[in-house]
Structure 1
């Protein structure tokens, strides 16, 4: 190491100013690249903590991470933390109620004091707390990313009849995709069950991503039933026809028009001929009357003692009254018919079948349409399978047309290559830095090391002790004159490489030894050409 340092300094001194700048820049670039790679390798792997938070919730989470002195990265609306600490941070933040996407809940009532709080203030705070709790419950679903609930409570007044109806509106932001009708109905029933006097029909659910109001399942019941019935009929007819004409050689389309109205009919039928006595009541009344007889009117009857004369002349009367009451029960039939929405008004069916294909011996394809008798048979099968009713206005069309020749299905999978798959941007940066470092090492380290061997060989020629050779003075002068007289040799002398220049300088400094060495080489060559 000590012996190589002087050689390094000597080489640096021998370089020009431009070469020194290039070498210094290469050394700095290599140092920076190695430092960056070491930093990237030492950095912890970051994992997603939360994403899709609103500004307030994200600020609360970042503040909590700063209090814990935890490293984090904010990338758009996502927060990343070291992968080894992610699960622990989620649990600890959940213990603090973070992130609070649904707003404040019943803890809002804790800040209210009994003094100075009016009933209106308490009602407003309670409504806000109820909205926050409902939003928290809705956000607990993995399909919902954010939710806002607004309640409009109906208030009773002294001059108001019946009071105002309570209503609610819910704005939902789905985590991915959109919201379906079933999810909207679930939110409606959740809100309606939590608020007294609120009907599910008075709850409006809005998809914040699409900006539309999601209708209830009752509104789209008729259409969904129509589509479901049409799909079922189409599949049944398709399976029935393909059993005859072959798979993929029949196309069926079914359109079902349904009645969206519902109807309830109540019928009461009474049969007077089928009466039955269920109760009979007989009442009998007997009345007895006793009094004087009618007698003749005479002078004696008008005398004071006339009544005594008629004491024995009296009459008795008895009256009997009988009353009978019978209750009858007649036969009564009560019928109630409920016609649900979705009754079929009209049905249209279109069937397209391929003809008969025959392959000739020479390989040509001959197509023949199916006969009318066969098409009528297929139409009769379709009528039986779908419940076709001509009186209702149903239509059926069966045609035989030529289908195009099916091609090869699928495509050949391409070769992903040497670096197939998905590569992240950070991996590309790391690979690029490695390539730059390898290139710098190859150009500025390996290449000089490979060239060092040639320089060492020339240095060995310069420092090696050559045997003393005697060269005549006239030979040296003749060689010098020959070089000076030949301009091509002079130009060649100027274009030779520095190692050859140093070699020539060494020969001039040791002319005697060089001449003797050249003479011995020439004599050896002559001896080989002219053997004795």
Structure 2
């Protein structure tokens, strides 16, 4: 028994060292095998190991973001105090804001922002210190100086400067205008000038944004400046923008008060006439069976006429002067023989030239005279006519009309086209003439033909179809982005969420392994020895099964 015990202990003693080392090696092998079987990367292992630190960092970032969001949302909003300031004005305003300890922000294009609830208060403070931006000096220029000792030339220059500043301020009221500058050229008054020279003006506009000032507003600016300056015609006011673009065109290109150009006016007139004629003809020949094109020859000249006419057939007596004079003389004519004897009373009777003796006492009047004079002044009928013929008057209409005819289908399915008769075309021409106000004297031309009309709407598409296509493309684009967003959400739900769950699940066994790091620590020495022998036998059987079989056979034979 002693030998047996010794023999028994010897193997146990021999095996003990390897058995003692076996749990550690087995733990290492098991840990490596477990990690490899789990397929974890180094990054995932780091996440597991430093998970608490990462969670702390993420929580800190979320807290800081929340605090920043609260501070940002609680901060007062800023609004524009002034924009488009020059560097000099901006520097002066910022300096004053710093003195007043008013918070502000500076942005591009000379924009100063202050808290929204203090905008008007700050403006009043700056105005009290005369620091508001100025587009020019107005009539307040005369409040700062005395007229004593100022020359007439200086007074005229100051008046022109004040007028320019007031006009610039007025123009800046227009929403599309950020700033304006007005320059006036005033003619010098002279008593020796043959005729008065006209004034001229130029306006420079700084527009807001990248938009374009409507032509109607340009015309309004021209009329505004012209109405404020003596002897200034609107066509002599030039308007340009800060980019050097001429905004005011020639007056000949502006036939209407709405500021339309001549080309726009002509196109609108032609379109209106085409619509009127087409709508009328389609009621007769059918929808889509009339094509109308109108060309209007527009008078592009502005004519002003003064005419005086007289009508001699329409006479009115303005004044009349009549003189009537009559003379009756009773003194006889000289008779008798010339000389003293004949002139002596009673000596020589009167003898007529034929020798007859005339008694002077019985002789009648010898002379009678009368004169009538009449002066009549007539007022001739006079007509003074002042005519202004604006540009845009129609000089001539040229109308081309194509109408369909009658289509019939024969037995073979062929379509036969029959044009309208000459009588029917003549009747349609009369309708078109009445629609355009046909005037043969001005040379109006109307041409009507009957031809087959093909439907080309399917080739080009109507405006409604084009709009529908644009809407469809927009909706498809929105649907694409929506589907992409949904796909990203689904990917996050089905991929990232399981990965996070897997990491958390893998972390739980790791904690258990840390807690049960030595599973053989609770075993007794005897049990530990037995377990070592069993492990050694298992390894021997696994590596050399033939030898193990012989050993087992020997054990069985010995028993």
State how far apart, in whole Å, the 2-side matches of 1:209 and 1:462 are.
81
State how far apart, in whole Å, the 2-side matches of 1:107 and 1:247 are.
68
Residue 402 of structure 1 aligns to a residue in which SS?
A: coil
> Deviation of residue 169 (structure 1)?
1.1
Aligned twin of 1:212: 246
Aligned twin of 2:324: 284
| Stretch deviating more after TM superposition (140-149 or 255-264) | 255-264
Asked which structure has the greater RCO (Cα within 8 Å, sep 6+), the reply is 2
Aligned twin of 2:352: none
Question: Please, what is the CA RMSD of the aligned residues?
Answer: 5.3
Residue 108 of structure 1 aligns to a residue in which SS?
A: helix
C-alpha change, 1:96 and 1:380, in structure 2 (3 Å) is farther
> After the TM superposition, which residues 103-502 of structure 1 pair with which residues of structure 2 at under 5 Å, given as runs?
103-112=136-145, 117-156=150-189, 161-162=194-195, 164-175=197-208, 177-209=211-243, 211-215=245-249, 217=251, 219-221=253-255, 223=262, 226-244=266-284, 247=287, 250-261=290-301, 262=303, 264=305, 266=307, 268-272=309-313, 281-285=321-325, 294=334, 297-299=338-340, 321-325=370-374, 327=376, 329=378, 332=381, 334=383, 336=385, 338=387, 340=389, 341-352=391-402, 369=417, 371-373=419-421, 378-388=428-438, 392=443, 394-398=445-449, 399-406=451-458, 409=465, 410-411=468-469, 412=472, 413-414=475-476, 416=478, 453-458=508-513, 461=516, 471=527, 473-480=529-536, 482-483=538-539
**Where does the alignment leave 5 or more consecutive residues of structure 2 unmatched?**
1-43, 257-261, 349-359, 483-495, 545-559
Residue 348 of structure 1 aligns to a residue in which SS?
A: strand
Give CA-to-partner distance per residue, 1:136-156, whole Å, 9 cap, x none: 011112232221100112124
Aligned residues: 444
> Deviation of residue 402 (structure 1)?
1.0
**Where does the alignment leave 5 or more consecutive residues of structure 1 unmatched?**
1-14, 421-440, 489-532
C-alpha change, 1:157 and 1:388, in structure 2 (3 Å) is closer
State how far apart, in whole Å, the 1-side matches of 2:498 and 2:149 are.
82
Aligned twin of 2:105: 72
- Conserved 8 A contact 1:369-1:401: no
- Conserved 8 A contact 2:215-2:247: no
State how far apart, in whole Å, the 2-side matches of 1:238 and 1:467 are.
108
> After the TM superposition, which residues 497-516 of structure 1 pair with which residues of structure 2 at under 5 Å, given as runs?
none
Query: Taking structure 2 as the reference length, what is the TM-score of the superposition?
Result: 0.61
- Conserved 8 A contact 1:226-1:256: yes
Greater C-alpha Rg: 2
- Conserved 8 A contact 2:123-2:132: no
Give CA-to-partner distance per residue, 1:105-156, whole Å, 9 cap, x none: 2233444355775443443333222211110011112232221100112124
Query: Taking structure 1 as the reference length, what is the TM-score of the superposition?
Result: 0.63
Give CA-to-partner distance per residue, 1:425-475, whole Å, 9 cap, x none: xxxxxxxxxxxxxxxx99999998665543443455469999877737344
C-alpha change, 1:242 and 1:45, in structure 2 (3 Å) is farther
C-alpha change, 1:54 and 1:73, in structure 2 (3 Å) is closer
Give CA-to-partner distance per residue, 1:137-185, whole Å, 9 cap, x none: 1111223222110011212458755564322111233446333443233
